[in-house]
Structure 1
Amino acid sequence: MSVLVVADPMASLDPQIDASVGLMDAAQRLGHQVWICTPEDLSARDGRVRARAQRITLAPRVRGGDHRWLVEPTWYAVNASTTLDVVAEVELVLLRIDPPVEGRYLHTTYLLDLVEAGGVRVVNRPEGIRAFHEKLGALLLPDLCPPTLVSTDAAELRAFVAEHGACVVKPVDGFAGLDVWLVRDDRGARALLESATRTGTRQVIAQRYLEQVDGGNKRLFLLDGEIVGAVLRRPSDDDFRIGPPCAPADVDEQDQRIAAALAPLLARHGLALAGLDVIDGRLIEVNVTCPGGMHKTDALLGTDLSGVIMRRLTHHHENTLLKEFHPCLTP
């Protein structure tokens, strides 16, 4: 089987932690050909999508004792370069461009719509990524989320902060922890909110700050709506934002309730892979544009989330109970 990974340039990926690299490695271990290209390498002529692609082989890797893998300085080799007729020569496309979903990302999804129309599976489905906003999509299930306000109005946001004492504020198109603010009910709140909203010109999300985050922000890994793994991440002493995976996480009844509620929405939009952020049983975000964390979790816990995902996506039936990959999962 040939797997095409549409991603940002390889030079921008960190092979020690990047989830896309973990998926490539898993595909290679399963005996598949791994091809890579960037959005700029895609073109379409008369409805046929072509990709200027490279077939690669990844160097061996070993767990490094934390959330990182130990890899060789030259961590992959290019075996061939060619232009692929994607529908004719590829069986699976992984859309692995980092957010935000802006012009470059959107144009890529429209080209990949043609690939999907030709009968090749694209994960996640381009149309679904456009339809389901990973920060606002959770609000389709407000009972599962902490109190949340989306607004450009600093005065409205200020009143919301006063109501809840402290809020995490972030732009609706933010990513990777950038421009995330912890706003408390004090004299500095109004100025921070004016900066966050760029004086009323940018939509931001304000959510009640959950102090239980010190006990861990749980990342739930969903595959076809099912939880296949979980890991805890915690803030550091000098930064309220979430750090890398640090400990295994138990999957409890509330986690299963959240996954069950989201599963029909994800299935409707063809979003096979999702990463849910959950704090104290409350849904914070549904990451679907380029869900990550699997490679880090595999390094930390010795699981094989990347392998489980690629076996499912490439139609290898997973006959092993999920508990063997993530012993903390509970029925």
Structure 2
Amino acid sequence: MTNKIVAVQGNHPSSLNPVTDTSAFLANEIQNKYKIFYYDPKDLSIINKKVIAKGSFIKFNYQNKKFYKIIKEQTLDLAKCKFILIRQDPPFNLEYISTTYILDFIKNKVKIINNPTSIRNISEKLYSTKYLKYMPDTLFSQDINEIKNFIKKHKKVIIKPIHSYSGNDIHLLNKFNSKLINKFIKKHDHIMCQKFLPKINKGDKRVFIINGKVCGAISRVPKKGSYLSNMSKGAKPININLTKQENKISKLIAKDLKKENIYFAGIDFIDQKLNGDINVTSPTGLKTFFDLSGINLAKTFWKELKA
């Protein structure tokens, strides 16, 4: 059984949506060749110098109403796996960071996607400061006066936490609101402020990067009256192509991420500008891309990884 296991560190399968979930899509693609072992981050331990996880061997079947089946519950030495996928949702908090330190212990024995050290080193929003010239005007701060000046300059501004996900806790401000911003800073410390791009109503673009290559993209159009392009917030996905400018920027970032030992990532554009989210913790959208285009990037994912 050694080396014929793919472990997925993620949210419990019962919480996943089979219509859109990328973790299940990746596991489903490889399960005829490898056994799939699923475990929750809280069930990860170091015991007697071994990295141990309590979880379940499971099978996925998109034809069934309950799209997964637990075959066997087990405690597993993760060094016996061929691959480990880090797929739990952010927020990127201390628990998340702790799991990367634990998995660091075996990263030279097992191929871990994405590399736990690299996940820790690349803040999904702060890493984008390397590419500010491709972004709308952006500020990272918890200085209330700097934020006030930024809002005064740009009139319409998006504020969001640095370590959140899925469009949670994002606000569109038309004027400086001292009470809201002070409360926001108290909760999130440093925050990201960005000039609002009104063309978000036409959709953003999510670009898929695998092994340093730009592999495809979808657009996500916010529901009427919303400025959130996350599908979890009701946005509608559509098939699109990248512009020459978007492709150029995507290739540049893909090359940099490969150097950083990031294998799988998602980056986002609004109106041909990078919006500053470099998704490396748990990139999504592959199942949706397949449904829209017929192109199966899960096959690409495993082919590139095994190569």
Do both proteins adopt the same fold according to a TM-score greater than 0.5, normalized to the shorter chain?
yes
Cα gap change, 1:34 to 1:240, in 2 (>3 Å): same
By how many angstroms is 1:31 displaced? 2.5
Instruction: Give the counterpart of 1:286 among 273, 278, 288.
Output: 278
1:79 aligned onto 2:71: yes
SS in 2 for 1:241: coil
Cα gap change, 1:193 to 1:40, in 2 (>3 Å): closer
**What CA distance in whole angstroms lies between the structure 2 residues aligned with 1:74 and 1:260?**
39
**What CA distance in whole angstroms lies between the structure 2 residues aligned with 1:98 and 1:247?**
24
Q: Which residue of the partner structure matches residue 196 of structure 1?
A: 184
**What CA distance in whole angstroms lies between the structure 1 residues aligned with 2:98 and 2:117?**
11
**What CA distance in whole angstroms lies between the structure 2 residues aligned with 1:212 and 1:241?**
12
Q: Which residue of the partner structure matches residue 26 of structure 1?
A: 29
SS in 2 for 1:163: helix
For normalisation by structure 1, the TM-score amounts to 0.84
Q: Which 4+ stretches in 1 moved above 6 angstroms?
A: none
Q: Which residue of the partner structure matches residue 154 of structure 2?
A: 164
Once the two structures are superposed, the pairs formed by residues 308-319 of structure 1 within 5 Å of their partners are 308-315=300-307
Instruction: Give the counterpart of 1:182 among 160, 169, 172.
Output: 172
Question: Relative to structure 2, which stretch is displaced further, 240-249 or 207-216?
Answer: 240-249
SS in 2 for 1:139: helix
By how many angstroms is 1:289 displaced? 0.7
Question: Are the aligned partners of 2:197 and 2:270 in contact in 1 as well (CA < 8 Å)?
Answer: yes
1:17 aligned onto 2:7: no
By how many angstroms is 1:146 displaced? 1.3
By how many angstroms is 1:74 displaced? 2.0
Deviations 1:36-84 (A, max 9, x none): 11122222234321222321111234xxxxxxxxxx3322112223322
**What CA distance in whole angstroms lies between the structure 2 residues aligned with 1:22 and 1:300?**
14
Q: Which residue of the partner structure matches residue 43 of structure 1?
A: 45
In structure 2, give the amino acid aligned to 1:34: I
SS in 2 for 1:99: coil
Identity of aligned residues (%): 28
Contiguous gaps of at least 5 residues in structure 1: 62-71, 316-331
Question: Are the aligned partners of 2:213 and 2:255 in contact in 1 as well (CA < 8 Å)?
Answer: no
**What CA distance in whole angstroms lies between the structure 2 residues aligned with 1:101 and 1:194?**
22
For normalisation by structure 2, the TM-score amounts to 0.91
1:237 aligned onto 2:224: yes
Aligned residue-pair number: 299
In structure 2, give the amino acid aligned to 1:33: K
By how many angstroms is 1:191 displaced? 4.0
Q: Which residue of the partner structure matches residue 253 of structure 1?
A: 244
SS in 2 for 1:240: coil
